[in-house]
Chains A and B, each alone.
Chain A
């Protein structure tokens, strides 16, 4: 498989139902390596469900997920020509709206846990790399702190460092600034912006329209479980074609 030609992630015919409720109704999506993709849409339209399908946090009801051209199975381990969720999640990091830091571990241990447990890296190497990453997100001085001692913005930056410690090829962000006080949003967006500059392949579910317009190469508008519109941010956000999207965007320009 040649990962430079294959999209980092691609889905075909993705549907997802919870019981009788069909949340995603047939999504086809390619994420080329190096692209920053923003997913926008009304509340309840299925954005979280979609991004969570991309690392198999949610099992697809129907459809096909590929990572760098390889089929992904729902099993934990690789089998045959399909990779398992273990391999997928090592390569595809995810950050959550509510950070989900491990409260019983220090900031440093939060970052090193994945590499030492999953990648079997030795402590010393993991520590060094974790400190380097904490430096990058501006939290060198918090390595020995516990999550409860941090602000929301700091927590989210630790969570990003925790994901980056796995040296992922793709990062998924699900509304990582939605739970933050307005004055703390900027410091987290700055870290994401820096990642984008570094060429990281990313999917951002966000309500920060200005930020999406600034960093995204492409914007996808999800409405009622389908991709209702997509294109470069200038097009999708400045010149929407559907009424639904116009209506959705108008709420942010008030």
Chain B
């Protein structure tokens, strides 16, 4: 019978908490940047210029069809060889996480905007709004409501994806667990505790998302 000993790993609780803080930081940072990339991709895809559409499409397909871990490793180990400059791990990590989630956000945003009946845009234009005004005042508020569940879902995945940063030694939760395990030789407790901590971060988020979605449906 295995002898559970959480006491030893809990001695390093401060390291776990530091890891959680970094995980939260990379999540928030990459989601904010990802929203920017996603919006640019979505509007480029909806634009009338084929060159813009092509660029956005290429970006999205590259990042959606390759593994995030490979992207992160590539940015940290391969890209510096091409450009001849070392890239600090936090920049490579944040950038790839953001571009990755942005490519998915782009599809979510585009889908949400496309789902709005084109009569909405016409009615907005018919009272003299510009395309941008119609987008801001009429289309976007409705599209956001439509895309919110998918957006939250993708963002939950994003929290977990930050764990891949461990591969380039960024001190987020998974990496910290690896460090604690190295010191304590208590992998079962260390990784179990980490799983519990991830769960504790994400479960409230998914509950909130469900609650929010139910409320949205009611107002329709």
Contacts and interface: CB of A to CB of B under 8 A. Distances in A.
A96 B122 contact: yes
Nearest to B123: A100
B119 A100 contact: yes
Interface centre among A96, A100, A113 (most CB of B within 10 A): A100
Contacts of B220: 103, 148
A85 B125 CA distance: 9
Given A100-B120, A104-B141, A148-B220, A55 B133 contact: no
Interface string A101-119: 1111000000001100111
A16 interface: no
Contact of A113 (B125, B127, B219): B127
Interface in A91-135: 93-94, 96, 98, 100-104, 113-114, 117-119
Given A104-B142, A117-B137, A89 B119 contact: no
Interface in B92-141: 117, 119-120, 122-131, 133, 137-138, 141
B160 interface: no
A96 B130 contact: no
A57 B141 CA distance: 23
B21 interface: no
A117 B125 contact: no
Contacts of B117: 100
Interface in A41-55: 55
A76 B130 contact: yes
Contacts of A104: 141-142, 145
A238 B174 CA distance: 84
Contacts of A165: 127
Nearest to B137: A117
B127 to A, nearest CB: 3
Interface residues of A, number: 29
Contact of A117 (B133, B141, B145): B133
B74 to A, nearest CB: 42
Interface string A148-180: 100000000001001101100000000000000
B137 A89 contact: no
Interface in B129-184: 129-131, 133, 137-138, 141-142, 145
Contacts of A163: 126-127
A90 interface: yes
Given A104-B141, A148-B220, A118 B119 contact: no
A86 interface: yes
B123 A96 contact: yes
A86 B141 CA distance: 22
B119 A114 contact: no
A76 to B, nearest CB: 6
Contact of A118 (B120, B123, B129, B141): B129
B124 to A, nearest CB: 8
Contacts of A118: 127-129, 133
B126 A57 contact: yes
B202 to A, nearest CB: 29
B130 A86 contact: yes
Given A86-B130, A103-B142, A57 B125 contact: yes
Given A96-B119, A104-B142, A148-B220, A114 B127 contact: yes
Contacts of B126: 55, 57, 89, 93-94, 96, 163
Given A85-B125, A86-B128, A114-B129, 6 more contacts: A100-B120, A100-B123, A113-B127, A117-B129, A118-B127, A118-B133
Interface of A: 55, 57, 76, 85-87, 89-90, 93-94, 96, 98, 100-104, 113-114, 117-119, 146, 148, 159, 162-163, 165-166
Give the 7 A-B residue pairs with the shortest CB-CB distance, closest first: A114-B127, A100-B123, A100-B119, A90-B128, A118-B128, A94-B126, A89-B128
11 contacts: A57-B122, A89-B126, A101-B123, A102-B120, A104-B142, A117-B137, A118-B127, A118-B129, A146-B219, A159-B123, A166-B128
